[in-house]
Chain A
């Protein structure tokens, strides 16, 4: 099967889902006779989308949101991967750190907003912090699982065959073996970080897709709200597809 055919086959379910959503949406508008402020029709939303594209405003919002998520995600990786490797490898480390993880993990990023404002002010740091909370735990837990999932035979073999210290063992055996699971954590973390955009951009944002949605709500522009939601959804799918493509290409 050719490359193009494979790619098309992957696209078909999404096109089908989009078509069903639009049909159901239009049917809901017609059947309920909903006022445009409550549920704008797909065509009006599409017009608003095109207006935002033509003015360039949409790309400003997309850029702002992506920038925040990528920054928070990178920060999440930098903190969660080393911590996860240590917790996965050494039981004592896990014993000491795990209670804190279990206490803080259930707390929604939304709940951190008031503290984010107090600690970081209303600049970008506060928003990145909210998204960091959303990305940190998936990466940490997957890293721990990845390390624990490494076949003990591989570790013994590494120790026998030249890995004289822990650093070498990590570098040459544990990390490569754990990487597929860690990569899954990265992928999940980006998704949760992307979903946290709405919460993050409630912190005095002046741009971003979450800001576009909040802004639309303020002035009864449900079309702006829907454009924001659709773009968040579509970009989420595209980013996840990118992760999957990268994962398929790299052999561990």
Chain B
């Protein structure tokens, strides 16, 4: 009798498990590649905009953080990311080399070449023979550095490159391990706010590509994801535009929300916004002329091959701007 009760209980347990499993399907996970930077998608998360998107589409948007764009692209190539936000360099490389498209340009400027505050380097030409920290060839900082050097009549062989994480550049400048470093915000603002570094040249002076601005950051997604989930992509774009509206209207609140998400001190983010290190513009739609100019820039830096043609789709961003 006891044996039979035990068997019945086990059968009931298994049946219950099966029923439960069959009745409630898990929400689809959408992996969104991000970096610890002042990206508008973090604001969207903090504002609860992504919660609404998740509920509407029965998905779970999970942020996967990377230290820079190259591993982010490798993850997208492997199908582990459906959508990502990264520097424009990696975004265009992905749009050229992967089955993916650029959907939006979400941050302007954002990059600068820094030197120690007491450095006697006053121009890019003075970098000859110096050691310069950079975040790797897969970052947008590399081609910007190449261009800045070329404009000053220098080649890469005239300097000593030191590859490091973008977040380590302020530390290397502070302890004078390098003579200069190129990195992106908020690491730029981190170094400047601490007072141990100064700007040698900003990205928009190296490559003013969109109405005098440099295009710092892009959002891009896999073709199969865009095709399968166009409404979800649209809602994410809508959320991005609303986030940028908040950034433009209420910098104070935006800085608080970013600080909560990415763990950077609010004063560093305030610095970035107030000093124009990271600039935001509602018009996130990628334009053909801008993409063409940037592609040419990457081809000249040897990042893209002559036959590479990045793909972009401005329709989602344009529709989002009409809201």
Binding site for B on A (CB under 8 A): 35-38, 122, 204, 206, 215, 217-221
Contact = CB atoms under 8 A, between A and B. Distances in A.
B313 interface: no
Interface stretch (B9-17, B69-77, B256-264): B69-77
Interface in B281-323: 303
A35 B137 contact: no
Contact of A220 (B94, B136, B162): B94
A37 B77 contact: yes
A26 B161 CA distance: 38
A215 B93 CA distance: 14
Given A37-B77, A38-B78, A220 B97 contact: yes
B161 A220 contact: no
Contacts of A217: 70, 74, 138
Nearest to A205: B163
Contacts of A37: 77, 97-98
A35 B99 contact: yes
Contacts of A221: 97
Contacts of A206: 156, 161
B46 interface: no
A92 to B, nearest CB: 44
A29 B156 CA distance: 36
Interface in B109-141: 131, 136-138
B245 interface: no
Nearest to A118: B177
Q: Please classify the interface of chain B as helix (H, G, I), strand (E, B), loop, or mixed, using the class held by over half of its residues.
A: mixed
Given A37-B77, A37-B98, A38-B78, A219 B162 contact: no
A220 B74 CA distance: 7
The range of chain B's interface size is: 20 to 34
A204 B163 contact: yes
A218 B136 CA distance: 7
B234 to A, nearest CB: 25
Interface of B: 70, 73-74, 77-78, 93-94, 97-99, 131, 136-138, 156, 160-163, 303
A38 B162 contact: no
A221 B304 CA distance: 10
A219 B298 CA distance: 11
Contact of B77 (A122, A204, A218, A220): A220
B136 A38 contact: no
Given A217-B70, A220-B73, A122 B98 contact: no
Nearest to A38: B77
A218 B162 contact: no
Contacts of A219: 70, 93, 97, 137-138, 303
Contacts of A218: 70, 136-138
A219 B94 CA distance: 9
Contacts of B78: 38
Contacts of B73: 220
Nearest to B164: A204
A33 B256 CA distance: 46
A76 B321 CA distance: 64
A97 to B, nearest CB: 35
A215 B302 CA distance: 11
Contacts of B70: 217-219
B160 A122 contact: yes
A220 B93 contact: yes
A215 B73 CA distance: 14
A230 to B, nearest CB: 20
A220 B303 CA distance: 10
A227 B137 CA distance: 18
22 contacts: A35-B98, A36-B97, A37-B77, A37-B98, A38-B77, A38-B78, A122-B131, A122-B162, A204-B161, A204-B163, A206-B156, A206-B161, A217-B74, A217-B138, A218-B70, A218-B136, A219-B70, A219-B138, A220-B73, A220-B94, A220-B138, A221-B97
A215 B303 CA distance: 10
Contacts of A215: 137
B299 to A, nearest CB: 12
